Every structure is written in structure tokens, then in C-alpha cells.
Structure 1
Amino acid sequence: MALTLVLVIATIGGYAYYRYLDSGIDRRPFNVGKSRPPETGALNVLLVGSDSREGDNKKYGPQSQHLGERTDTIMLLHISPNRDNATMISFPRDSMVLVPECQGHNGGVLPAGIKQINAAFNEGGIECTARTLESLTNIKINHFVKVDFTGFKGIVDAIGGIEICLPKPVNDPKAKLVLDAGKHVVKGEQALGYVRTRYALGDGSDLSRIQRQQVFLQQVMKKITDGGLLTDPGGLNDFLRAATKSVTVDEGLTLERMLEIANSVRGMTAKELKGITVPTEPWPQDKNRVQFAQPAARDFFENVRNDVEVTKAPTPGKSSAPAVKREQVRLQVLNATGEEGKALQVADALAAQGFVVTQVGNATPTPTTAIRYAKKDAADGPAYGEAVAARLSKDKRTPVEGKVKATVSQPYTAKTPPAKMPKGPVIQLVIGKDWPGVRVLSAIPDSLKDKVVDTSTNPCL
């Protein structure tokens, strides 16, 4: 919400209004520590829902005043380096994880240990939560946004409410939600009750509640980007004012930074936002708790880190000819790492992305991965090689002229043969010991596709 609110800030008022909004945002220091994951070009924003009972939130439990704040909602909004899709990753509050050493609210040191994941926020605040997530995922968190009960209601009210769908009547005194089955437009207490209710809907688990929260945020995104809010000056002003006073963010998330981010995601709509919950399984010591399921969780985090590449703008004065498509590229994959089976593993990954792999084999060991084309293909070989380079992780590789001789080579059989064999040059991918890996087309692996929440998900959960 804090990022979306500035999409059209420059068009609705002058500098004074801009600064007025900026002055209404509560900003806090965000010192996660010195040892952190590397930058990848992606944008990762930690979103938490606070159950603080201070101030206007007192009515939700006066007995909990001055007892700190907890979070039942922990999400990581991951926006790809290309800024063309977003993945909303939810971490179940009941997950038992290794929380690293953190600084507590009283300034003391909290020792590392196995704890419920939301204990990091309760005991060490947003910085301990971020440090915990970075240690678990190896994904660098750039910013945070925190919303409490009152702030959440204010934002939903400012956009005119959100449509939900209930599969059955609900009467949940704990969440203060009483509604009949069917569709409803909810605001205020009803909206808050819907995202908080747990035992009255689904299977009563936190995992079921997470799905409803993701569906709700899909509806919020749709209302903002597709619902006419951005072309309604009055409604937009109400939304901007509500959003700025409803969130707490890090000091680095200035309005200038928000505007920079917002401009980069200007074309994104609700259909590009996908929700997913980290794969979990029952925790052996207590079946009411869960732990990350391996290797599914580890593979998922790796996919997020190896996100789609940044598309660079054409260099002035250079050709803007269409880029070579993956299905136009014939590819020979050679293993020069000495690791058995590496060529076939990489060939499968690239073939799944549309490349026409013709051969796999081995080559003399080399420390450096290279993309090569034949001397006779000097005219168009670089363009075809660039298509391969774009799918490798980390730093961009420049295709080079001249192929190496394979020590062993054999035909490759694709699981899904191409409809038509392309006629372009054969590109040679030599896998060195510094092999960076293949970039994924989606942060969500095929094994988790049925767990995705997006605009096509049935809202009656």
C-alpha cells in the first residue's frame, strides 16, 4: 500500500501537497546488521501486521496494553528485477525456525534458538524479524512496512471497502465478524474481522487464514489499479491521506524512493501479483506447529533469488531489432566442471524454458562458463548467444567467437520435442566450475503451482 500510493502523486498536486503527505508517514530506523545477503536487482519489502493494543487499538484488548506487539501476518513482497511481476510470500506464524541472535526491546541480547517465527517480532521487533527471514531465505530485505489494526481499517475505508465472499455464515466473537454466506463489501471492523478470523472459516488453521488474506490483498490491488481510484481525485486524496498515516516504514523508504519504485512498477496490475505460502509440514515435537518442508522450501527460496533478468533499455544509436526468442536457439550443452550429469541437468532446465537443445556432452575442464558461437556465424551468432546469456544467473556473460571441441557428445532428447526445428546457428554452452545457474521464469516452482493465490482464485474460501 505504501508503495502504490505514490503512483500518481505528481499529477494530483504540487510540491506542498507532496511534502504534506511525506510529513504524515511514521519512519523508523532499520538496522538489520552487517552480514547480509547480496543485492540481486529485485525489490523485497517485509510486510507485517501488528496487533499492538496501544492508542486507538486499545479496544481490541486493553489487558494487552504495554505488553509489546505481536504479528500474525508476516509477508515478503518480492518484485522481480524487471518489475513485471510480484510474488507475495507468506510465512505461517506457527512456523518453528532458528531465530538468530538479536537485540531485544530492552537493549539486551536475545540468544539464538528454535522459536515460533512471530516470536522474533514480539521479542526483537521488525529488525529481528528481518534478520530471521534473511537467515532463513538468503534474500535481502530492502524495506519494511508495518500496519496495525486501526491503520488497516483506515486504508480499506479510504478505498470504499473490499468485496469478499463467504462459503458459509460466520459468527466469530473473537474476530468480531458476523456475516451471512455469500458476497459482501466489507469496511472497518468487518474487513479487519475477515482477515483475522481463523477458526470460523476453512480448516481453522493459520494456513487457511493466510489464503484468505492473500485473496483480500488481491482484491485491494485490483481496487487500486483497476477500480478507477487513480482517476478519482477525491477518492485518491482520501486514500493517500489514510495510507500515509496508517503505516510505519523504514527511514530509507522516503517518498522519493517510493516514487522511484512506483514508476518502475507503473504497468503492473493485480494479475501480476501472485500469493504463495512457504511450504510447510507438521513439526515433530508439536503437531500444532509447522516447520519448513525441505527440499521444497529451499528450492523455492533459490528460485526467488535466481529471478528474471533486468531488461536493459536499447543503447542510443544501436539497432533495436527484435531479440532472438528462446525457441529459435539450437543449443549444445557441454559439461566442463567434472561433475557427473551436469550437462543433462542444465540441458533439461534450458529445454524447459523453450531452448532447442540438440546435444549434450563433456569438454576439457575449465573454471569459466562460456557461451560460444562458430566463426562462420559471426554475423548473427552474438544475438543468438545473448538469448542464452539472458537466462543465466548473476552477471551477464558476453558470447564469444570460436567453439571448443567436445570430448564426449551425444544427441539430447527433449521431454517435449519442438514443433519445428529452428534454422539459426547452433550455440555452445560450456559449463565451467563457476556455473551461475539458470534463471527461473517464475519464482514459484511447478511443484507449488496449485498453491498459488492470484486473480483466478475462487474468493469463497
Structure 2
Amino acid sequence: MGWVSVGLTVVLVLASLGAYAYYRRIEGGIDRETINVGASRPPETGALNVLLVGSDSREGDNKKYGAKSQGLGERTDTIMLLHISPNRDKATMISFPRDSMVVIPTCEGRNGTVLVGGLRQINSAFNDGGINCTIKTLESLTNIKINHFVKVDFTGFKGIIDAIGGIEICLPKPVNDPKAKLVLGAGKHVVKGEQALGYVRTRYALGDGSDLSRIQRQQIFLTKVMQKVTDGGLLTDPGKLNDFLLAATQAVTLDDKLSLDRMLEIARSVSGMTTKELKGITVPTQPYPADKNRVQFSEPAAKQFFESVRNDIEVTATPAPGRSAAPKIENSQVRVQVLNGTTEGGKAALVASELAAQGFVVTQVGTAPAAAATSIRYAKKDAAQGPAYGDAVAARLSKDKRTPVVGKVKPVNSQPYESKVTTVPDGPIVQLVIGADWPGVRVVSAIPDSLKDKVVDSTTNPCV
């Protein structure tokens, strides 16, 4: 539910314009809740931290999305924290995957009962305890004080996107997701209303089906929304601006301290900031051992990440779960053995030629025992470097494949591969075992170095 992020844009636009009396009236139509999480809270640092959540409330016009969940009024699929530095010169949008298993503190439940703390999925804090339990949970996990919150629901989000004329997206493949109510062909689309909502809600129909993949898509969508609001002529068109603000006030719920005066203060303090200063980052996570469908914070990386945010040290994107944080390995540094674990003759030689064309140094081709799953392997002695070199090969497959560190598969009928490379690099040898689920090698067009930073891989974006 990436639409929650438009909430702050709404607040700042509402506050930064000159017709004070009009916007005072507009602001009066916003629903509000009080932040009440007790006296024991992290210290103020001068930074501004705004919690953004997307509500799937089934009240009012949202009833068509289904019945209430377990008798509760709303749940959230998206939790984001916008951190604006004390100098108001940079902003970081931190996404918390909804599937994260964390320790939730004791909170007051929505029905007034006590929710006993414990290890649970992070979005249950909102589902069971509402916005205050969510704030209390995030403050306990990050030691970052949350100053304000913005909550946006289904219908309100659609109205906001309609008011700005929609957002252009690109689908790498056709999508048919009945749950998200999204049916679109591959290619470019300008999505509004139900389609825009479906695009940010869909999970399994795009990417790898993970919440982390959906978060990346939502962060890009957010950036486009902010760009369109600030650079698309909305602020100079009274009619469009009025429609936008009317939709916005119906979409958001704010804390009672986020008054118009406070909005004006924030808007003025960030007036020189552009969307280029907004960085979207996901909390470092790794697979949760007890459930493959869940993740947990990766330590000590997550602790260091939150400390950097608190101290306003530049933070960078974190590796995906299971990925090495080592420096990027170039294709030309990687020696690869390609082994055919399928019944299709000549498969190893074909794949070897495709990898060699992309700069890999193929040293050997051959066959291996029958394999149902494609895998990337390296010797136990190469445990330190193997993952980074294996990642370089995995990145060029149409679907990422890798296995834990294991001993090498014994090749059958293997032979040297006649590589055109005269200087063979050092480093571990990576073994690619082609399984029955072989995903294929991504095709890369020949692109001049001067243009590479302007081009998106056409295998993941057909709209280039």
C-alpha cells in the first residue's frame, strides 16, 4: 500500500500555500487522533520523524474491498518512517517490511484491553493496537522519536491520484491479480483510481512475490507522486489544486499536534528540498528461520542502520536478504564452470556461450547428475569470496538462483571451454548447475558506457 507516502506531500502542500483562511477551512475537515504512548520515549534530536501507514479500513466507501478483518476496523500492509534531518536538507523514507518478526512491547488494544508484548509480525502492532501501538513498537525498535503520523485509506488514495492526473508506470509483463483488482498488459500505462490502488497493493503478480519487492515498487511510485505534485503544475492551477486538497483531506488522518501552524513550520523548513533529496531505504533484513514467508532484522546491520539515522550519518541501500555486502564483482573477474543437469543435449555449451558473451570467463563445460533446481555453487574453501562471485552470475539469470556454500558437484564428461580470454583471473571458481527449472540468461543490449546510467535493463523494464 504505497499510497501512504502521499500523505506527507498532502500535508506540506496544504501548509505551504498562501490563502490561509481557505486552507484553514480545508484543514478543519481532516480527521485526527492523539498520540498517547507514555512518557518513556526516545530523546529529541532536532530531526523530524513522521510515521506513514496505509489503512485498509472497510468503513464507508471502503466496504467494497471486503469485510472487516477479525472484527477489527483496519489493518496495514505498509509502514514507513520519513526522517527529515535537523538541517532539513535531506530526507530518508525508511520502509519496514510487514512480514518482519519483531518484539512488540505491551500496548493497549483497540478495544481497551492490554496486549501482552512478545515476538510477532510487525504489522500486528497496528492491526491489534492501532497507531499508538505502532508508534510505541517502532520507537522501541529504533530508538527514534516519532513526532507525527499520517494515515491514508483506500478510497482517499484513489482520489489523490485521480486529482493529479494519474501516474505513469511500466509493467514488465501482463498482470492479472483479482485480489488487487489489477488487470493490465505489459508496457506503459497511466494508472488512476482502482488501477493505481491495485498497482501499489499487488504483491505476488509482480517482482519475486516478496514484500521487499513490493516496497521497492512503492518507493518508486512515491517519488513519482511527489514529483508530479511539486513539478507538474498542480500548485499553479486553482481548479486542480482545489480537487487535490479536497481529496487529500478526505484521505488522511493526522495526529492532533500536526496543526496548520505546525504544517507551515515544516513546509518552510524544507522549502529548498527537492525530490532528489528523498532517499528510500528498507530496513536490513534476513530470512526468518522458523518461517520462510517471514523476515527478521539483520543484526548488527539493523542496529547500525538506526544509529546512522539517529545521528544523521549518510545511509545507503542495504543488501537484499541473503546477499553479500561485498564490493560488486565485475563479470570479467568471474571464472565459471557450466554443467548441464537436464536431459537437453548441448545445454551447457549454449549457456556457456551466452555467459561468455557477457564477459564471464567460462573455464569448463560438462554434465552433472540430474538436478530439478538450478543452483550456483562454490567450494567450502571459498566461503569468504564465493557468495559475491556467485551473486555476479545470479544477477544475470532471468530468475535469481543460489544455494548455500556446498562442496562442488562432480562433473561428468567435462571438458575445457575454449574461451577467447587470454588472461584468466584469480578468485574462486563458480559452478553453475543447470536444472530442470532453468530460468535462462538475461539478454543485455550493447550500450555505450556514456549511456549506461540512463538505461534500465530491458529484461526488467520493457518500456525503455
Q: TM-score range by the shorter chain?
A: 0.5 to 0.7
1:282-331 Cα distance to aligned partner (Å, 9 max, x none): 11111111100011111110100001xxxxxxxxxxxxxxxxxxxxxxxx
Aligned to 2:123: 118
Aligned to 1:88: 93
Please point out which of 197, 201, 204 is paired with 1:192: 197
What pairs up with 1:48-59 in 2 under 5 angstroms? Answer: 48-59=53-64
What pairs up with 1:141-290 in 2 under 5 angstroms? Answer: 141-290=146-295
Instruction: Quote how far apart the aligned CAs of 1:242 are.
Output: 1.3
Please point out which of 52, 67, 72 is paired with 2:72: 67
SS at match of 1:21: helix
Q: 1:232 to 1:172 in 2, by over 3 A?
A: same
The one-letter amino acid of 2:151's match is K
1:70-108 Cα distance to aligned partner (Å, 9 max, x none): 110000011111111111110000000000010011211
The one-letter amino acid of 1:241's match is L
Q: Is the 8 A contact 1:303 1:445 kept in 2?
A: no
Aligned to 2:315: 443
C-alpha distance in 2 between matches for 1:457 and 1:44: 34
SS at match of 1:62: coil
The one-letter amino acid of 2:57's match is S
The one-letter amino acid of 2:123's match is N
Aligned to 1:319: none
C-alpha distance in 2 between matches for 1:94 and 1:12: 39
SS at match of 2:304: helix
C-alpha distance in 2 between matches for 1:26 and 1:457: 43
Q: 1:265 to 1:456 in 2, by over 3 A?
A: farther
Q: Is the 8 A contact 1:7 1:266 kept in 2?
A: no
The one-letter amino acid of 2:80's match is M
C-alpha distance in 2 between matches for 1:264 and 1:207: 32
Name the % identity: 76
CA RMSD of aligned residues (A): 2.3
C-alpha distance in 2 between matches for 1:50 and 1:116: 16
TM-score, normalising length from structure 2? 0.66
Q: 1:209 to 1:3 in 2, by over 3 A?
A: closer
What pairs up with 1:29-40 in 2 under 5 angstroms? Answer: 29-40=34-45
The one-letter amino acid of 1:299's match is Q
TM-score, normalising length from structure 1? 0.67
Instruction: Quote how far apart the aligned CAs of 1:109 are.
Output: 1.1
The one-letter amino acid of 2:120's match is K
Instruction: Quote how far apart the aligned CAs of 1:4 are.
Output: 3.2
C-alpha distance in 2 between matches for 1:13 and 1:262: 12
Aligned to 2:382: none
The one-letter amino acid of 1:144's match is F
Q: Is the 8 A contact 2:8 2:150 kept in 1?
A: no
Instruction: Quote how far apart the aligned CAs of 1:5 are.
Output: 3.7
User: How many pairs align?
Assistant: 324
**Structure 1 stretches lacking a partner, 5+ long:** 308-439
The one-letter amino acid of 1:67's match is L
SS at match of 2:224: helix
Aligned to 1:20: 25
Q: 1:147 to 1:65 in 2, by over 3 A?
A: farther
SS at match of 1:200: coil
SS at match of 1:141: coil
Q: Is the 8 A contact 1:54 1:66 kept in 2?
A: no
